[in-house]
């Protein structure tokens, strides 16, 4: 077999990819005809593709490369660990140094009494752990019927059966007969799209109170937990109104429901705090982590759980775990990644310097005729595209048509800025510099202008 290299011709790489490689969340036939963009190398915030383009990655891969690409320390941490102990498991009464160190470090970083870590390979399987853990928790406390988990429409919690079921993506539920029983949904706090005539504050309160109504409808004695992302990521970077989270915290406290904060995107500095929960001031019982934990250099995720949850779960044999739970190489890389985040004051820089700078520039995009609102917290932001800023009307074209056109212009201008429906989203590496932020905004303007021209020409600006 002919093994290709990053220097092989693009057409060869694309042909082999099309022949054998199935892509996530992709219509394979369409992609294979067009050919995938082949990324070959990366450093800092920049990607190289097989055609020699330099692309500004304003998505940090998939919201994960927090310390940027090309950090030799992380490669060295992996190489060291591979030579010392490439693998051992943490089942059957054994442990190893990288896992116990990382768990202790996470307990130190996490807020409140979140002092115990159960490792997974990513966010989806960590949420599967959470699903089984909260149900086991209540069963151990003598309330096995307290097993319903409430989530939100348009939430993303992963792609496994548990993750898909917990998530509120209808297009995902439609494939594979999901969600599994025992998951209920409330609406999301997306004021721009769904707030009607209400002020954001009124709307935030109303959407939070849907949780209370749902608990009363199902019965307090049947609800195990509420799961939510502090700020929805894959759903389009939906920043909830200020009134939303305090009300959610009041409700979960009042009814004794466990709160699972899915920090897979928000964690490890993305919001300008170590965890999104700290940014929005909530006290979760469990946090899901992944992505920024290793800056994407190794697959690793997990659940950080409270003293109380750990105590109850520790009272039984929790029959759950993955071959690679606490993989030593992934743990060693995560540990080094946390060291970099801390020693280089990356979280503080996002909070105090580059975050505020990006916010100012990003919000200036609302001067564009097609941009309704710009919302950004730390290094995760979105803009809403609209034909009418006053009424916040959606475009008449199918949802996502305009977003897709805009994203294509971004790609053509060597900027990775994605679309979710007709919202454009960014989540750059946390190490992005002010100069790179300027480049990001320039390319976003250019792409918006080109998309706008095309949309006008095609009569779609309505």
The nearer residue to ligand PXG, 189 or 301, going by C-beta atoms, is 301
The least CB distance from residue 159 to ligand PXG, in Å, is 6
The least CB distance from residue 129 to ligand PXG, in Å, is 12
The residues pairing with 227 across neighbouring beta strands, listed in sequence order, are: 260
Residue 310 in tokens = 């750990």
**Residue 219 zone, left/alpha/beta (φ > 0; ψ -120 to 50; rest):** left
- Give the C-alpha separation, 115 to 286, whole Å: 10
List helix spans (H) across 141-183. Answer: 161-166, 170-173
The nearer residue to ligand PXG, 102 or 265, going by C-beta atoms, is 265
The least CB distance from residue 459 to ligand PXG, in Å, is 30
The least CB distance from residue 163 to ligand PXG, in Å, is 6
The nearer residue to ligand PXG, 387 or 428, going by C-beta atoms, is 428
CA angle, corner 326, sides to 321 and 331, nearest 5?
160
The least CB distance from residue 156 to ligand PXG, in Å, is 5
The least CB distance from residue 407 to ligand PXG, in Å, is 12
The nearer residue to ligand PXG, 47 or 205, going by C-beta atoms, is 47
- Give the C-alpha separation, 291 to 65, whole Å: 7
* Nearest residue relative to ligand PXG (C-beta): 123
The least CB distance from residue 64 to ligand PXG, in Å, is 8
Cis preceding-peptide flag for 179 (omega within 30 of 0): yes
Query: What's the order of all strands across the beta sheet hosting 46-49?
Result: 39-43, 46-49, 54-57, 415-416
- Give the C-alpha separation, 156 to 390, whole Å: 29
The least CB distance from residue 412 to ligand PXG, in Å, is 20
List helix spans (H) across 21-116. Answer: 28-34, 60-63, 72-84, 97-109
Query: Which residues bind to ligand PXG, rule: CB under 6 A?
Result: 62, 122-124, 127, 156-158, 163, 229, 233-234, 262, 264-265, 290, 301
Q: What DSSP string describes 400-458?
A: THHHHHHHHHHHHTTEE-EEETTEEEE---TT--HHHHHHHHHHHHHHHHHHHHHHHHT
The nearer residue to ligand PXG, 157 or 423, going by C-beta atoms, is 157
- Give the C-alpha separation, 41 to 415, whole Å: 16
The nearer residue to ligand PXG, 290 or 350, going by C-beta atoms, is 290
The nearer residue to ligand PXG, 131 or 205, going by C-beta atoms, is 131
- Give the C-alpha separation, 204 to 195, whole Å: 9
Q: Residues 6 or more apart from 183 whose CB is under 8 A from it?
A: 148, 149, 150, 151, 165, 166
The nearer residue to ligand PXG, 57 or 262, going by C-beta atoms, is 262
Q: Answer positive or negative: Cα dihedral of 155, 159, 160, 164.
A: positive
The least CB distance from residue 232 to ligand PXG, in Å, is 8
Q: Residues 6 or more apart from 218 whose CB is under 8 A from it?
A: 148, 150, 184
Q: Computed over its alpha carbons, how large is the radius of gyration of the chain?
A: 22
- Give the C-alpha separation, 246 to 256, whole Å: 15
The least CB distance from residue 418 to ligand PXG, in Å, is 7
The nearer residue to ligand PXG, 134 or 205, going by C-beta atoms, is 134
The nearer residue to ligand PXG, 44 or 235, going by C-beta atoms, is 235
């Amino acid at each position: 077999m002919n093994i290709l290299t990053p220097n092989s011709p693009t057409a060869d790489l694309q042909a082999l990819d099309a022949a054998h490689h199935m892509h996530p969340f992709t219509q394979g036939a369409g992609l294979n005809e067009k050919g995938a963009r082949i990324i070959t190398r990366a450093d800092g915030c920049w990607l190289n593709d097989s055609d020699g383009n330099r692309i500004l990655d304003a998505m940090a891969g998939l919201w994960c490369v927090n310390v940027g690409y090309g950090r030799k320390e992380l490669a060295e941490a992996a190489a060291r660990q591979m030579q010392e102990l490439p693998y051992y498991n943490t089942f059957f009464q054994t442990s190893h140094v990288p896992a116990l160190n990382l768990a202790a470090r996470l307990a130190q970083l996490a807020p409140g009494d979140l002092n115990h870590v159960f490792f997974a390979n990513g966010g989806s399987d960590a949420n599967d752990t959470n699903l089984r853990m909260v149900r086991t928790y209540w069963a151990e406390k003598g309330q096995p019927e307290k097993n319903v988990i409430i989530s939100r429409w348009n939430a993303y919690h992963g792609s496994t059966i548990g993750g898909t079921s917990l998530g509120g993506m209808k297009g995902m539920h439609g494939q594979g007969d999901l969600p599994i029983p025992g998951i209920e949904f409330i609406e999301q706090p997306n004021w721009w799209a769904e707030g009607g005539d209400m002020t954001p504050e009124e709307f935030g309160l109303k959407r939070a109170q849907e949780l209370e109504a749902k608990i009363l409808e199902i019965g307090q004695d049947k609800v195990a937990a509420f799961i939510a992302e502090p700020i929805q990521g894959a759903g389009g970077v939906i920043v909830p109104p200020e009134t939303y989270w305090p009300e959610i915290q009041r409700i979960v406290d009042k009814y004794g429901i466990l709160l699972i904060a899915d920090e897979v995107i928000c964690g490890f500095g993305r919001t300008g705090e170590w965890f999104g929960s700290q940014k929005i001031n909530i006290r979760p019982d469990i946090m899901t982590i992944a992505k920024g934990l290793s800056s994407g250099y190794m697959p690793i995720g997990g659940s950080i759980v409270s003293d109380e949850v750990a105590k109850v779960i520790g009272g039984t044999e929790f029959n759950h775990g993955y071959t690679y739970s606490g993989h030593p190489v992934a743990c060693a890389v995560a540990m080094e990644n946390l060291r970099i985040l801390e020693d280089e004051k990356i979280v503080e820089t996002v909070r105090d310097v580059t975050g505020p700078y990006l916010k100012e520039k990003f919000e200036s995009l609302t001067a564009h005729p097609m941009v309704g609102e710009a919302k950004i917290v730390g290094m995760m932001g979105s803009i809403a595209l609209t034909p009418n800023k006053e009424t916040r009307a959606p475009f008449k074209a199918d949802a996502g048509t305009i977003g897709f056109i805009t994203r294509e212009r971004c790609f053509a201008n060597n900027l990775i800025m994605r679309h979710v429906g007709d919202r454009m989203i960014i989540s750059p590496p946390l190490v992005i510099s002010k100069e790179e932020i300027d480049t990001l905004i320039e390319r976003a303007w250019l792409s918006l202008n080109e998309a706008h021209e095309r949309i006008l020409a095609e009569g779609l600006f309505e």
